[in-house]
Amino acid sequence: MKIVDGDKAECDRCESVYPLADVSLLEKETNRDYERVLCDDCLGIVGVPQGYSLRRDITHLAN
């Protein structure tokens, strides 16, 4: 996950930068080290595959 300017994150799929409130974190349930930040558009394309969970609120990661 790439945090930019302390309160923004880069989408791991389209590489655009969004405020933390506008992205979600896709995590693999069997490997907590695997996490991908996705914007709403990319999340709509990718969805939440079986075996993954989604955290919509990651604003607590802001510096």
pLDDT single digits (tens) 7-47: 899 999 999 999 999 999 999 999 988 999 999 999 999 99
| pLDDT given at position 44 | 95
| pLDDT given at position 4 | 78
Q: Which residues pair with 16 in a beta bridge?
A: none
Q: What is the pTM of this model?
A: 0.83
| pLDDT given at position 26 | 95
> Beta strands 8-10 and 3-4: pairing type?
antiparallel
- Please, what sign has the CA dihedral across residues 39, 42, 44, 48? negative
